[in-house]
Structure 1
Amino acid sequence: MADHPAHEDAAGTGGAAAKPAASHRQRSVTLHDVARATGFSANTVSHALKDKPDISAATKELIRKAAAELGYIVNVSASSLRSGHSRTVAIILGDLSNPHFAIMIKQIEADIRRLGYTAIVLNTDEDPALEKQAMITALSQKAAGVFLCPTQDTAGNVRFLQQSGTPFVLLGRYFDNFPADAVLADDRQGGFLAARHLLELGHRRILFLNGPTCISSAVDR
């Protein structure tokens, strides 16, 4: 009788069980790990890393050093869930390829960084639907505040943002029928100075290239 070949398992190992590949992902260092390493309670470690005044400078320094050596990184998402807000500020602009907006982003980011905040930048392409989605993204990230250069198609999106209760400020544009905090250039005066300069040079046939007339800055110029 012919011998039958021995059946191998699906992995072709001749019956030996296949071993799963070892995972190289290390466990994240937690607040409790820092507490165990320093001998302080988790609450003390938390207060020290948040620079709370009830912890001495020497203890803060010791805990920060241990946290850095262990590679501890604050879980921002967990902190946001506990507090209801984050140390993040959203910057929502119409066209990130516009150098004007790039300069604006750089300055805002530098200023909020000094206050301990980080920025998320969202582009709308001057599209009201994308603007609404950007607002929803900012709110879902529990942004502490929003800088917004509105599309100005309508004030509906800004009204939605206001109703959320999240602090916001408009950049460069405003609505006549919807009062809101805004940081604005004096576009009317800028247009006047530019026109006067050309007239003083003797020019009379002046071409004015402007943006959409639904945008307040274009109207003011």
Structure 2
Amino acid sequence: MQHPNGGKRVTLLDISKRTGYSLTAVSRALRNMSDIGPEATSHIQQVAKEMGYVANQTAVALRYGRTNIITVIVVNLTNPYFSIITNLIQLAAYNMGYSLVIVCSRDDPGLEQQLVEQAIARRSDGVLIFPSHSSGKSIEMLENAHIPFVLLSSMLPPYQTDSVIIDDEQGGYIAGMHLVEAGCRNVAFLATSNSAPSYAPRCKGFLRACDEAGINTENRHLFTVNYEENLSDQNKGISLNVLLPKLKHEGIEGLFVFCDVEAWRLMAFLQRSGQFSINDFKIVSFDNIDSVLLSPIPLCSVDCSLEYMAQRSIELLRSRIQGDDRPPQTIICPVKMICRNSCHSAK
């Protein structure tokens, strides 16, 4: 079928000629302005739809100073945690009239800075960024460009910025107490990196639980783990081939793993090893991905209120876009333990 405008992009002038209304009336009807009658608005919008009209967002941005586009910078899209939270952010943003551009920094500071430059260049109204330990330069770029932005999941001291964060310390505490309540007296915290912004507060909470439970310092352990099998590069952490015999030898019963994806990798290795079983350790983790994506291995995990994080982050960013100049706000998302008995609790 031939395009109603001969294959050319449909303009407001084309709609004006087809309907007989002025350019001003067409423009205001397409924006549902109240000074255009309902019958005229309906007719103009129907004709625009039939002609295949799509608003020129670049022109709209130039006219009104806003693009209604928010850029979201995540660290790792292969981790379901980020897929889940960006999906929730997209829903919240759509309900407030915004579209998203979702990009991935791959935890690379140079790439992250390029993505920030692109967000500024495309005139994004605002930016949501999941920071890494090296995001300082990106934050400074956004501040210098006067682009509203909000940090998600974690803060990044010493920068004083708007943040919607997980209560990581409390999450680490309830993870540690969950192991204690399951009968553990010799426990370990495993993570692939001790430089992630969430690591220090989760570790602090875990150690606080150990203090309250009276677990001796020699029975609380911190390990940086390399989940690449058959490797033992100490710069990247201890491989599981080396770590697991060590855990058994030292009588460690309970494991708090930094996040669900890492816990799944650990549990899959245990199942395939032929030497160990997932029943050899009581395991808890963080993120509660199972609430959205059911895994074949049930896992006790700290829920961090992702829907609440998504909603509040968009609300906070929108307020800044609209001119709210209050001092930086920090919104803390509550946490709770969801038990699926990977702790092998006797309860």
TM over 0.5: yes
| Counterpart selection for 1:152 from 122, 130, 133 | 133
**Cα shift at 1:62:** 1.3
Counterpart residue number, 2:159: 178
Note the residue ranges of structure 2 that are not aligned, 5 or more in a row.
1-5, 203-347
| Counterpart selection for 2:66 from 75, 81, 85 | 85
**Cα shift at 1:59:** 2.1
Structure 2 CA distance, aligned partners of 1:214 and 1:56? Answer: 60
Counterpart residue number, 1:28: 9
Matches within 5 A, 1:91-130: 91-130=72-111
AA aligned to 1:190 is G
The number of aligned residues is 197
Counterpart residue number, 1:65: 46
User: 1:124-163, CA deviations, whole angstroms, 9 ceiling, x for partnerless residues?
Assistant: 0011111111111111111111111112215121011122
* 3-state SS, counterpart of residue 48 of structure 2: helix
Counterpart residue number, 1:18: none
User: 1:78-104, CA deviations, whole angstroms, 9 ceiling, x for partnerless residues?
Assistant: 222333320111111101111110011
C-alpha contact 1:34 1:66 (8 A) present in aligned 2? yes
Structure 2 CA distance, aligned partners of 1:121 and 1:159? Answer: 20
Structure 1 CA distance, aligned partners of 2:13 and 2:178? Answer: 67
After TM superposition, the runs of 4+ consecutive aligned structure 1 residues lying more than 6 A away are none
Query: Using CA pairs below 8 Å that are at least 6 residues apart, which structure has the higher relative contact order?
Result: 2
Counterpart residue number, 1:205: 186
* 3-state SS, counterpart of residue 140 of structure 2: helix
Structure 2 CA distance, aligned partners of 1:154 and 1:78? Answer: 33
Counterpart residue number, 2:147: 166
**Structure with more of its chain in strand, by fraction:** 2
TM-score when scaled to structure 1? 0.84
Counterpart residue number, 2:248: none
**Cα shift at 1:211:** 4.7
C-alpha contact 2:74 2:104 (8 A) present in aligned 1? yes
C-alpha contact 2:74 2:103 (8 A) present in aligned 1? yes
Counterpart residue number, 2:121: 140
C-alpha contact 2:69 2:126 (8 A) present in aligned 1? yes
**Structure ID, larger Rg:** 1
C-alpha contact 2:61 2:67 (8 A) present in aligned 1? yes
Note the residue ranges of structure 1 that are not aligned, 5 or more in a row.
1-24
* 3-state SS, counterpart of residue 120 of structure 1: strand
Structure 1 CA distance, aligned partners of 2:25 and 2:170? Answer: 56
Matched, 1:39 2:16: no
C-alpha contact 2:73 2:105 (8 A) present in aligned 1? yes
Counterpart residue number, 2:206: none
AA aligned to 2:98 is Y
Aligned CA RMSD, in angstroms, stands at 1.5
**Cα shift at 1:48:** 1.4
TM-score when scaled to structure 2? 0.55
